């Protein structure tokens, strides 16, 4: 049993690493796509809308397989971990786009007017006036997206990344003690998610401090 604990602890580190990097990738994509989706130009707006629609409209599992196995077929060789991070990141990026876009839209229109009336350009108004306010509104929804991603990261076990679910699955089949293994994996997931939610709360209070 001692040994099992160590395996699970190592597997949690993999889950944390994959989730963390995927969240970062998702945030980058989310910001780019959210700003693009608010553009005046159709050629900029359209790809962003398509990205959100396609990646929210299909299962993450299929996206992951398409990237990993389909990529291999097209000569795009990736390790399972790389494919896992990229696949999860692109997927959650589509959801994060909606969270970021929603936060930007939620900032009062008068703020844009005030910025523009002072002679600031659209970009300056966005950077100095709108985004700092939207940032406060997006912490929580992005936190929800990220928690979903941490749980969703279990799917990379299907391409043999040795994270928590893979490890639990392996021990379930070898020890035939599914409940013990489940409880063990569940404990690790619950710890990771609880700690992560603390982090989100901390960021939320930091960001909201000044008003």
Nearest distance, CB of residue 46 and other proteins, angstroms: 17
> Which residue in the set 1, 6, 43, 74 belongs to the binding site for other proteins (CB under 8 A)?
74
Nearest distance, CB of residue 127 and other proteins, angstroms: 9
Q: Is 72 in the site for other proteins (CB under 8 A)?
A: yes
> Which residue in the set 28, 44, 54, 106 belongs to the binding site for other proteins (CB under 8 A)?
54
**d(Cα 17, Cα 99) in Å, to the nearest integer?**
23
- CB burial of 114-134 (b: ≥16 within 10 Å; e: otherwise) equals ebeeeebeeeebbeebbbeeb
Radius of gyration over alpha carbons of the chain, in Å? Answer: 20
**d(Cα 210, Cα 86) in Å, to the nearest integer?**
35
Q: Is 174 in the site for other proteins (CB under 8 A)?
A: no
Nearest distance, CB of residue 194 and other proteins, angstroms: 8
Q: Is 42 in the site for other proteins (CB under 8 A)?
A: no
Which span sits near other proteins by CB under 8 A: 6-14, 30-38, 79-87, 149-157? 149-157
Which CB sits closer to other proteins, 173 or 205?
173
| Sign of torsion over alpha carbons 101, 104, 107, 108 | negative
| Sign of torsion over alpha carbons 63, 65, 71, 77 | positive
* The pair of three-digit structure tokens given for residue 38, joined into one six-digit string: 């608010």
Which span sits near other proteins by CB under 8 A: 5-13, 30-38, 78-86, 160-168? 160-168
How many residues at the interface with other proteins, by CB under 8 A?
63
* Surface-to-core class of residue 63, CB atoms within 10 Å of its CB (0-12 exposed, 13-18 middle, 19+ buried): buried
Q: Is 73 in the site for other proteins (CB under 8 A)?
A: yes
Helices (H) and strands (E) in the chain, counts: 10, 0
Which residues form the interface with other proteins (CB under 8 A)? 40, 54, 57-63, 65-66, 69-75, 108, 110-111, 113-122, 124, 128-129, 132-133, 136, 151-155, 157-158, 164-165, 168-169, 172-173, 176-179, 182, 185-186, 189-190, 193-194, 210-211
């Amino acid at each position: 049993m001692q040994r099992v604990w160590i395996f699970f602890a190592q597997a949690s580190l993999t889950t944390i690493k994959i989730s963390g990097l995927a969240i970062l990738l998702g945030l980058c994509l989310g910001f780019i796509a959210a700003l693009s989706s608010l553009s005046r130009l159709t050629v900029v707006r359209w790809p962003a809308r398509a990205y959100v629609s396609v990646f929210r409209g299909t299962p993450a599992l299929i996206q992951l397989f398409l990237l990993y196995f389909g990529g291999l077929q097209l000569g795009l060789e990736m390790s399972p971990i790389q494919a896992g991070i990229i696949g999860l990141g692109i997927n959650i990026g589509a959801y994060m786009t909606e969270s970021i876009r929603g936060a930007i839209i939620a900032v009062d229109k008068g703020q844009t007017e005030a910025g523009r009336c002072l002679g600031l350009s659209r970009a300056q108004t966005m950077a100095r006036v709108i985004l700092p306010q939207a940032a406060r509104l997006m912490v929580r929804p992005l936190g929800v997206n990220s928690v979903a991603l941490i749980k969703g990261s279990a799917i990379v076990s299907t391409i043999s990344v040795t994270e928590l679910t893979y490890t639990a699955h392996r021990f379930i089949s070898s020890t035939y003690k599914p409940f013990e293994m489940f409880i063990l994996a569940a404990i690790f997931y619950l710890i990771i998610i609880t700690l992560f939610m603390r982090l989100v709360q901390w960021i939320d209070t930091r960001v909201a401090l000044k008003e």
